[in-house]
Chain A
Amino acid sequence: MPLKITNFSNAILYNISFSLPQGHNLILLGSNGVGKTTLAKILSGMIPSDSVDIDGISPSTTFGHSRAKSINYVPPVLEIFDSFISVKAFLTLSCIEPVCNIEEVLNQVGILHLSPKLCHTLSSGESQLVLIASALLHQANYTIFDEPTANLDPQKIQSIFSLLQKSLPSKSKIIITHHLDLAYQLGFDILFLAHGKIAFYGSSADFFEPLHLETLYQGAVIKENHYIRVNL
């Protein structure tokens, strides 16, 4: 069953329709304020809409395990109200199945040492890894990662890149990013938003055609020896 959004419009988005079969991944690109996060919140049901259908359910009107199982959204920053919640306690809450192997996921993400720490004391890079671990434990059919590499140092970007590439193999990942090189290296299909509309939805190879990049980014982005870089 695919994820489907049909003819959605609001104050900033106009006539959005697309579908994504389960198991396929997508990268959501577009300039600041174009509505990427809004679209993510609509897809995950946090902004009510009856235009979304995932596995036959409408996420904004369905509650319980079936909704949680269908879609998850990973915010750009880890926000936790209670300052005494530890990483382990947070990850225990992240798991929606009766049994979860938290230690295995912590090992996979390489943050076993953070387990007893309080979430409030983590650095931004550590928080980002905890968020990824949380998504891996949640195991939704569709997981939206909202700017998973914002404000991170190169090593952290590297480890998040390989996690995004390899993890949740049978599930769908939707990644919102401004990091075009990351988008290019991941090779997932691209959905590009401009002026509130879908300006491009297709393969990575077509999107990263030099001429296509030139039209979309007016020379701000160039492709050079299989790398995408900002033209400074």
Chain B
Amino acid sequence: MTNISLETLKEWSKLGHRNSFGESIIHLAREREDVVVVNADITTTARLVNFKNEFPDRIFNVGIAEQNLIGFSAGLAREGLMPFAVTVAAFVPMRCAEQMRMMLGYMNLNGRVVGIESGCRFGPLGNTHFAMDDIAVTRTIPNFTVISPSDPHQIYKTVFAVAEHQGPVHIRLTGAPGFPLLYPDDFDFEIGKAIEYRPGKDVAIITTGSVLSEGIRAAEILEKKGISTRVIDMHTLKPLDLNMLDSVFAENSLVVTVEEHSIIGGLGSAVASYKAGFANSPKQVMCSLGDSFKKIGNYAFHMKNAGLVAEDIAEKVLQNVD
């Protein structure tokens, strides 16, 4: 894995997670001949045209057919290839959940399933195109690893890390073009090992995906009010980094989970279910997309309505901190 220049990362940040992934997978394919891309008529939308130009024989478009996207990819994986199956997160895993369970999970194959535009980024397109439930689905499939990278650099690191991983992986991509570059410098990335983005003694904000940037801003707001706030980037949702959670439960007095996902089955649920085993663990506040279909509006509108912007997260902390 070669390091990516700061200039390139800034460009990817500007262009968004689709380009970040579409370019990262080219870098991986240059190093590994077993890597192929399968997509469900999303070559242009998912910014895979450059991949197609460089590796025309290593990208397969199965048409608008998400079940077969996974089925076909499972067959490729069974024969030792490493397919990255890509489509819009609204349709994967939900349209092909059973195929992910039976073909990738049950057979423990090295399929990599990538959902672009997860959460409610598709704003005005409406609920048909939101993925508020994808983490909930794949977390329940045995053998699956679930990763939601937080910035362009982490998307790059994720793509290379999953290539070395045994077993199926779901990569959930969030954030709009212009999503912040949070890791400008080289950093260690390990599947299942959360990153303490900044230390803090009082409150711990745990986020997953691109909403990490709001968690960081919230921490800055709280620091100004005298509340020492730790920020944890829980990029891997399964397996959860339990060591990191042990440390949070021992050292922080309030846990705040922040995710662009349903309040059911995502990061908040995962943290809460682990926390349930601790007699004296801190209180948890969950910031999420709740449990409702949304009205029409742009991405910022949805994030604001759900209370997923820094000011709202900070306010929620202030309401709950002793």
Q: Do A and B interact? A: no
Which of A's residues lie within 8 Å of B, judged by CB? Answer: none
Which of B's residues lie within 8 Å of A, judged by CB? Answer: none
